[in-house]
Structure 1
Amino acid sequence: MTAELSISIEPVNQPEIVELIELSDAYSLARYPAEGHFGTDVEGLSGDDISFAVVRDEGRAIGCGALKWNGDGTAELKRLFVRDEGRGKGAARKVMVYLEDMARARGVTRIDLETGPLNTEAVGLYGALGYAECGPFPPYEANPYSLFMTKELRA
């Protein structure tokens, strides 16, 4: 039986978190060509404008997700990922709810995200959480490897 999942904001530059980022890259690069991979690297996820959440199962990092604070009342979801053995436990939903609650507490009114259209599980989760397809937002441009979604947050 699995203990309850825990989640907290953590520094990215930890070996098991770097491993999650590498697994996320491998997942993306197995589905899309390099020009369709837009994952933010460890350095980019370590900035002051990023809050990086890690979900753990019995102490082991099984998933992650981050918000990039845009400073204009919006945020961008980055790097939502759950390792294979962590799937089916509600980890991705837990990260999303945690990040959305954090965004509301900071006065954010909208979260945007970019994902790949072949990431059907993620697209389904985002839709179930109220995200709707939209056009590209900066710094992205329309391309066949990206699906853009947004959600207006309520207090």
Structure 2
Amino acid sequence: MSAGTGPAPAGGPTLVRVPVGDPRVAPLLRELGEEYSARYGRDAHAELARYPDEEFTAPHGGVLLLLLERGESVAGGAFRRFDRDTAELKRIWTHSAHRRRGLARRVVAALEREAADRGYRRLYLTTGPRQPEARGLYLAAGYTPLFDTGADPESIGPLPFEKHLPTASRPGKASRL
């Protein structure tokens, strides 16, 4: 997967497409694993390494996007193929020092465009019951909860969401990062 860049808002982070093995991915995944481990009381690093790199690589896999600011990874996320029509969002994350700036929302929007450009018609994701910020992000971004939102999240386990995407106007068109 080649690195591509997208325009940054004036003075904002630059969006790049990177392979999973890119060294700029590791700090975000490390912090993500540490936070998940603290929130859930068990080591989450093995879960983060569960999917082979190929699942995040074109043409049949997904993509991994990073937002870089002054060369530092400040946010990122990925998707992988879930089924023929569905991409699954994974590892949406904002570094703790860069939160409350709309970066995760920007990553999600870029992943949605990329998935639609690749012909996916639906996005699916799960987030944990102890991640109210993620739940709020997906609801604000138009995702439909596939669970009873009035129930105690701890009684549900992973909270599933979906979003139907507009059909790309031309299959195989260039991505608009």
**TM-score category (smaller protein):** 0.7 to 0.9
- Contact persistence 1:32–1:145 (CA under 8 A): no
Matches within 5 A, 1:1-155: 3-34=11-42, 39-41=47-49, 44-47=52-55, 48=57, 49-134=61-146, 144-155=156-167
What per-residue deviation string (whole Å, max 9, x for no partner) do you get for residues 42-91 of structure 1?
A: 86245431310001122211111001023511100000011111112211
**RMSD between superposed Cα atoms in Å:** 2.4
- Between the two structures, name the one with larger relative contact order (CA 8 Å, sep ≥ 6): 1
Structure with bigger gyration radius = 2
Unaligned runs of 5+ in 2: 1-9, 148-154, 168-177
SS of the residue corresponding to residue 40 of structure 2 reads coil
Counterpart residue number, 1:140: none
For residues 26 and 105 of structure 1, the distance between their equivalents in structure 2, rounded to whole angstroms, comes to 33
Distance 1:38 1:145, change over 3 A: farther
Unaligned runs of 5+ in 1: 136-142
Q: TM-score normalised to the size of structure 2?
A: 0.74
